[in-house]
Structure 1
């Protein structure tokens, strides 16, 4: 259904830096074995194959090269040591490195792909680039950090697919790269981007915190004991369906009022808390009994520009890399599925955020504790979250307008993961990937819960 027209390598322009080495921080090491993040960004932009091949593709290639000169690590590789006791992983760019770009045309149904109802997950992988295979060089495995695919749906739209190694960066940094490429593509050169560098220019230096050496050692001691096996970009068959669920502003207001009426002493109820708690409790009810054991909700908080226990001053808002402080919330299953389970979940998430994130003396305090907390979650049913309304990939405008839809294919992995993003009409969209049977039950309970 999808035909690859070409796969090429796009390097930064000649004349730039000959090489760049970046050590991994403990933030980055945390994600070494959560290998691949996969996103698809859909644009409603009707055009012909001739216009696509003769105008759009040459511009995308040219502007991708211009963008990479400002994002050299993206064009480089992860060097993972074959002998982990002798050295640590590092990011390296050297002259000649490049990014894989695939150009394709698809006969898949564009309208079906951007719809909200349950659809077979496997079909979306036609639109995702295949990451080049690892190579070996002296004492290192060489792992490409990013690959891209641009797919035309003739007369309908365009999809930009992105696959990146998770250790390279979190969502904010990748969004910065995509918005930079889009801005440069829309204008045809990088003058606008450079003129606004105070807002957009990435900052790569690995700022050393007062505890960096100890923390880097702790995280590396744990990560190096896990066999390094980059995940396949196309883990097929997924045996999943994916769907999006809309929380309208009226729904969010009603849910906030429900929490405040039950817990009037709560200081603040955010949209994030409402959405996370509602999805968590709906999922717990739809999956059925989990005994008297706890269930877990795992989320991250961006540490950039936020007062915290490690960095003074805080890390720059344009810092490129991973910069998330992880939090784990535990609630007994029987409490989650009780009549007031939604309120209980919201209170638990809100309390964790207030105590461990909003309090700058506690945020990022003893981050190594997360390793122990995550180990304890191994055999417990857990829901994680990716994406954020504050990180809006639909804003990456290549000249085709804002994106119609964003799909996070990373949801298809083992366990349970939700995505959270803005829908085009200003409401909030929740993405889920479940088995067909699980999705039918979840969808029914999601709708019923909003109108009880």
Structure 2
């Protein structure tokens, strides 16, 4: 029987709220949503896990690790007040905003795995039961409706710390996408890591860490996209549905080494010598996309050759806007690229080089062109709505993101997982932990399709 509750694989020892320091002088903060934020109002929460191999007994965990985690989180939130606040969503008139009021806090769960041996299973690369990860994921508190004030108060961030006795620790993060894109949330995690390593006596400052930038006026909206998106999102009210269990999926990790990427690049250049945009991102995503398309037959899917196939990706628009937005800007600032082909075109041998050409063309002519990057922004919401019913693939993450360098005093991470891809047709993407210049790809698929994909992925690298 389907359920919205994941398997009970952990024991929750404590649920608490962590607020920024009361002596930090934090005042009420209100941030309007810009059009980049509006797109994500009804998107599913983003869920990340970072595993650390760190032999730790329960006593040390509860008496030393947990207090340090709470203290460092509080200190970090002083610079990231929107994460401790709420999304204020009007019930009738008005516009949404992020609001922090002194006393607001982040929900934190302290947990312990019922099976310490699960750590080694969960941190592997081979296909693993996707459901087993969800007990480690924090749940955002339920929204509260204030009828008197006329708005819904929606928490945007939650944390869970799970001990695998004498084996390791897992940090889990869940965030509402509207509060910040991958660059912003990764920036917060890195800041928290820095505070943990600096110690209680030290303070984050612009001198030792790039602090977040919140001024919304740097995002120019001369076309009125904010009002357009709010009208569309406020009418649709497309609340994201909770994931049902069992998901009947497995998760697996694949790594493309630097020489693998170069080998694939050489293959494309031999077939299409005129192509110039052959970045690691383009090569990697095109390869994974076409391997997935080809795996449909092995998974028993009957797909007509004329069936459209879409690939959608987000790019950091901060430096691509005119004028550019500071790199430390906290919020959403991503533009989108969309590639369309057909199943028949992508499943054949030349499908990979065609995918590289299509993705590279969108990046060079649209995404990297300041005059073009927002040209079709007004249709983003409608395009995404249509893709729900079509064969499409997306990307969660970026080759720029390196969470394998985030330390909390337990050594470098053993494994990073984006759990939220279980609820969408997306690949996760980040720098490789083990391989310099390599990229790590995470997938969540039905077991039969994962096995078909793995065979095609491996065979393609042996050419």
TM superposition score category, shorter chain reference:
over 0.9
> Which of 425, 450, 456 in structure 2 is aligned with 1:445?
456
**Alpha-carbon distance change, 258 to 46 in structure 1, aligned in 2, over 3 angstroms:** same
Q: Decide whether the 8 Å contact of 2:339 with 2:359 is kept in 1.
A: yes
Output the CA distance in 2 between the equivalents of 1:161 and 1:73.
19
Q: Decide whether the 8 Å contact of 1:405 with 1:423 is kept in 2.
A: no
TM-score (norm 1): 0.94
Output the CA distance in 1 between the equivalents of 2:49 and 2:95.
32
| Superposed CA offset, 1:34-74 (max 9, x none) | 13000000111111111111111101111111111111111
Name the counterpart of 1:411: 421
Q: Decide whether the 8 Å contact of 2:43 with 2:239 is kept in 1.
A: no
The SS at the match of 2:373 is coil
**Alpha-carbon distance change, 151 to 212 in structure 1, aligned in 2, over 3 angstroms:** farther
Name the counterpart of 2:225: 215
Name the counterpart of 2:17: 9
Name the counterpart of 1:327: 337
Quote the offset at 1:226 in angstroms.
1.6
Aligned length: 443
**Alpha-carbon distance change, 7 to 364 in structure 1, aligned in 2, over 3 angstroms:** same
Instruction: Find out whether 1:136 has 2:145 as its counterpart.
Output: yes
Q: Tell which deviates more after alignment, 169-178 or 186-195.
A: 186-195
Quote the offset at 1:227 in angstroms.
2.2
Output the CA distance in 2 between the equivalents of 1:423 and 1:307.
26
1:13-412 equivalence runs, <5 A? 13-15=21-23, 16-83=25-92, 86-108=93-115, 109-137=118-146, 138-189=149-200, 191=202, 193-196=204-207, 199-212=209-222, 214-227=224-237, 229=239, 231-232=241-242, 235-288=244-297, 289-304=303-318, 306-308=319-321, 311-312=322-323, 314-412=324-422
Q: Tell which deviates more after alignment, 102-111 or 154-163.
A: 102-111
The SS at the match of 1:193 is coil
Output the CA distance in 1 between the equivalents of 2:370 and 2:411.
38
Alpha-carbon RMSD across the aligned residues, in angstroms, is 1.6
Q: Decide whether the 8 Å contact of 2:218 with 2:325 is kept in 1.
A: no
**Alpha-carbon distance change, 210 to 147 in structure 1, aligned in 2, over 3 angstroms:** closer
**Alpha-carbon distance change, 206 to 213 in structure 1, aligned in 2, over 3 angstroms:** farther
Output the CA distance in 1 between the equivalents of 2:177 and 2:201.
27
Q: Which runs of 5+ in 1 are unaligned?
A: none
Output the CA distance in 1 between the equivalents of 2:304 and 2:157.
38
Q: Decide whether the 8 Å contact of 1:327 with 1:370 is kept in 2.
A: no
Output the CA distance in 2 between the equivalents of 1:319 and 1:89.
19
Q: Decide whether the 8 Å contact of 2:277 with 2:361 is kept in 1.
A: no
Quote the offset at 1:444 in angstroms.
1.4
The SS at the match of 1:200 is coil
Q: Decide whether the 8 Å contact of 1:35 with 1:167 is kept in 2.
A: no
**Alpha-carbon distance change, 176 to 106 in structure 1, aligned in 2, over 3 angstroms:** same
| Superposed CA offset, 1:354-385 (max 9, x none) | 00122222222342132343344343200000
Q: Which runs of 5+ in 2 are unaligned?
A: 1-8, 298-302
Output the CA distance in 1 between the equivalents of 2:219 and 2:11.
48
Output the CA distance in 2 between the equivalents of 1:262 and 1:192.
54
Output the CA distance in 2 between the equivalents of 1:23 and 1:148.
24
TM-score (norm 2): 0.92
| Superposed CA offset, 1:202-233 (max 9, x none) | 0112125443571111111111112253543x
Q: Decide whether the 8 Å contact of 1:387 with 1:419 is kept in 2.
A: yes
Quote the offset at 1:120 in angstroms.
0.5
Q: Decide whether the 8 Å contact of 2:277 with 2:364 is kept in 1.
A: no
Output the CA distance in 2 between the equivalents of 1:178 and 1:235.
28
Quote the offset at 1:246 in angstroms.
1.5
